[in-house]
């Protein structure tokens, strides 16, 4: 299938990325722990022809460590992977990419969750791997001392976490299941493999309990701000999310070329082989009919609960966002992951106004074709099984 030159992705986080979003008209704050809330958002993104959605997650009830204990902030989460299991089968085309906190999870369990998601979505699963150094998250598990933790080792652990997952996905060859009624053989045991992984953080024998996912290797994504995160992406991921001009507000949105260069430098530093990273820029958007109204909307929201974010914020019109994304595409970025400040208002403007404008400019797809895997949508080939017999 043809791959669009620029990917539109949408990052979902409850009622929106602004901490005041839950108080906005139509926010459906009372519904966000129900399935329909999430199905509706992902279907809206699919109707807007987004290549994939990401679903945020973490191990604290607050969205940010700064919000712990506050009663005026949204609290509570659903497990992103389980949300993905629900919304994935309710859609047909869009990729579904839940967030996984590698620091406090076991790769064997995560590998089966993502493989299962790939099966129930017919090959549209991915994951965003997240590293945690938040003491509040450590306190929930009681097995580690955050003060003694070397932050660099957290990224090494995450790289091992992803490597174990990838090996487990390959531990069943594609044709390991026989299901031969005549002979009574369900599986060819010679095509199931021990991975025998022994590293600094994990020792996993395998094989997986789940057959190889339809994509072989569901795409892995990482958000990067610093060199160690870029290197993690270069070592282990398929897609890296970057934050061009993350300090920017209401102004130019970024040095996209610099983040692309940072990703390529990390690839060189770790000796990456194979396909280069797809570099996707993050942008938090507040959309309105004119720039003044959008900025006034952001100011009003900030007056309720100030926004603090790692990504650039663009409060403006659909045309202004399209201009920014067009400049990112010209700089070589593979796509943009948009964070709607208020999902109730900004998500429909992304899907119903911005997406058609990007298609009109020839940046993104103008219609869905036949259902395809997320790897196909991203233009990534299905990798060979490392354990398959020649």
For the cut 80, the answer to whether the pLDDT of residue 390 exceeds it is: no
What value does the mean pLDDT of the chain take?
Answer: 93
Mind listing the pLDDT tens digit for each residue in 290-302? 999 999 999 999 9
Separation between Cα atoms, residue 88 and residue 214, nearest integer Å: 14
Q: 285 exposed, middle or buried (CB, 10 Å; 0-12, 13-18, 19+)? A: buried
Sign of the alpha-carbon dihedral angle for 41, 43, 44, 48: positive
Question: What pLDDT does 63 receive?
Answer: 73
Q: Within a 10 A sphere around the Cβ of 123, how many other Cβ atoms?
A: 21
* Residues 121 and 42 sit within 8 Å (Cβ to Cβ): no
The residue among 287 and 74 whose pLDDT is bigger is 287
Question: What pLDDT does 247 receive?
Answer: 39
Separation between Cα atoms, residue 368 and residue 365, nearest integer Å: 7
Residues, the chain, total? 390
The residue among 71 and 268 whose pLDDT is bigger is 268
For the chain, give the percent of residues with pLDDT over 70. Answer: 95
* Residues 239 and 281 sit within 8 Å (Cβ to Cβ): no
pLDDT category of residue 149 using cuts at 50, 70 and 90:
confident
Q: What phi and psi, each to the nearest 5 degrees, are found at residue 281?
A: -90, 140
Separation between Cα atoms, residue 90 and residue 24, nearest integer Å: 27
Mind listing the pLDDT tens digit for each residue in 19-72? 999 999 999 999 999 999 999 999 999 999 999 999 999 988 777 766 766 778
Question: What pLDDT does 187 receive?
Answer: 92
pLDDT category of residue 143 using cuts at 50, 70 and 90:
low
Sign of the alpha-carbon dihedral angle for 168, 171, 174, 179: negative
Question: What pLDDT does 1 receive?
Answer: 52
Question: How far does CA 330 lie from the centroid of its chain?
Answer: 23
Separation between Cα atoms, residue 162 and residue 390, nearest integer Å: 25
Of the options 3.90.228.20, 3.20.20.30, 3.40.50.300, 3.40.1350.10, the CATH number for the domain spanning 7-378? 3.20.20.30
With CA atoms as reference, report the closest residue to 367 among 378, 356, 375.
356
Separation between Cα atoms, residue 21 and residue 301, nearest integer Å: 8
* Residues 125 and 213 sit within 8 Å (Cβ to Cβ): yes
Note the pTM of the prediction, 2 decimals: 0.94
Q: Return the minimum-mean-pLDDT range out of 7-11, 77-81, 152-156, 273-277.
A: 152-156
Question: What pLDDT does 304 receive?
Answer: 96
* Residues 279 and 332 sit within 8 Å (Cβ to Cβ): yes
* Residues 236 and 267 sit within 8 Å (Cβ to Cβ): no
Separation between Cα atoms, residue 20 and residue 16, nearest integer Å: 8
For the cut 90, the answer to whether the pLDDT of residue 2 exceeds it is: no
| Secondary structure element (H or E) that encloses residue 297, with its range | helix 291-304
For the cut 70, the answer to whether the pLDDT of residue 246 exceeds it is: no
Question: What pLDDT does 254 receive?
Answer: 57
Question: What pLDDT does 268 receive?
Answer: 98
Please give the average per-residue pLDDT across 114-122, as a whole number. Answer: 98
Q: Within a 10 A sphere around the Cβ of 139, how many other Cβ atoms?
A: 12
From residue 54, give the alpha-carbon distance in Å to each of 38, 60, 176, 217, 250. Answer: 12, 18, 31, 17, 24
For the cut 90, the answer to whether the pLDDT of residue 378 exceeds it is: yes
For the chain, give the percent of residues with pLDDT over 90. Answer: 83
| Strand locations in the chain (E) | 7-12, 52-55, 95-101, 127-130, 177-180, 185-187, 197-198, 203-204, 220-223, 239-242, 278-287, 312-316, 335-340
* Residues 130 and 223 sit within 8 Å (Cβ to Cβ): yes
Please give the average per-residue pLDDT across 338-344, as a whole number. Answer: 98
pLDDT category of residue 15 using cuts at 50, 70 and 90:
very high
Q: Which residues, in sequence order, are CB contacts of 165 under 8 Å at separation 6+?
A: 107, 110, 111, 114, 220
Strand bridging mode 197-198 / 203-204 = antiparallel
Mind listing the pLDDT tens digit for each residue in 162-213? 999 999 999 999 999 998 898 888 999 999 999 999 999 999 999 999 999 9
* Residues 368 and 307 sit within 8 Å (Cβ to Cβ): no
Question: How far does CA 35 lie from the centroid of its chain?
Answer: 19
């Amino acid at each position: 299938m043809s791959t669009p030159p620029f990917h539109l992705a949408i990052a979902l986080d409850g009622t929106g990325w602004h901490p005041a979003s839950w108080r906005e008209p139509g926010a459906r704050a009372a519904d966000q722990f129900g399935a329909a809330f999430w199905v509706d958002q992902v279907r809206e993104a699919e109707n807007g022809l987004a290549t994939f959605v990401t679903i945020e997650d973490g191990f604290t009830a607050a969205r940010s460590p700064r919000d712990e204990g506050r009663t005026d902030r949204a609290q509570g989460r659903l497990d992103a992977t389980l949300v993905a299991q629900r919304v994935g089968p309710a859609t047909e085309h869009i990729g579904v990419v839940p967030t996984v906190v590698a620091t406090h999870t076991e790769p064997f369990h995560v590998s089966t969750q993502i493989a299962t998601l790939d099966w129930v979505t017919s090959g549209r699963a991915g994951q965003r791997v997240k590293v945690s150094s938040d003491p509040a998250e450590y306190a929930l598990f009681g097995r580690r001392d955050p003060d003694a933790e070397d932050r660099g080792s957290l990224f090494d652990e995450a790289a091992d976490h992803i490597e174990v997952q990838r090996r487990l996905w390959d531990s069943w060859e594609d044709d390991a299941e026989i299901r031969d009624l005549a002979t009574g053989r369900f599986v060819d045991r010679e095509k199931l493999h021990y991975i025998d992984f022994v590293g600094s953080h994990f020792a996993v024998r395998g094989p997986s309990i789940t057959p190889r996912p339809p994509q072989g290797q569901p795409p892995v994504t990482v958000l990067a701000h610093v060199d160690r995160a870029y290197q993690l992406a270069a070592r282990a991921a398929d897609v890296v999310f970057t934050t061009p001009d993350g300090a920017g507000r209401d102004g130019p949105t970024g040095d996209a070329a610099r983040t692309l260069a940072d990703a390529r430098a990390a690839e060189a530093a770790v000796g990456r082989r194979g396909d280069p990273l797809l570099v996707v820029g993050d942008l938090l958007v507040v959309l309105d009919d004119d720039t003044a109204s959008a900025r006034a909307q952001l100011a009003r929201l900030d007056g309720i609960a100030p926004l603090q974010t790692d990504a650039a914020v663009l409060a403006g019109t659909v045309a202004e966002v399209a201009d920014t994304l067009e400049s990112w595409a010209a700089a070589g970025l593979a796509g943009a992951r948009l964070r709607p400040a208020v999902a109730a208002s900004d998500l429909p403007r992304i899907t119903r106004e911005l997406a058609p404008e990007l298609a009109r400019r020839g940046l993104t797809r103008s219609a869905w074709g036949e259902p395809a895997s997320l790897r196909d949508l991203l233009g990534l080939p299905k990798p060979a099984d490392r354990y398959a017999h020649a």
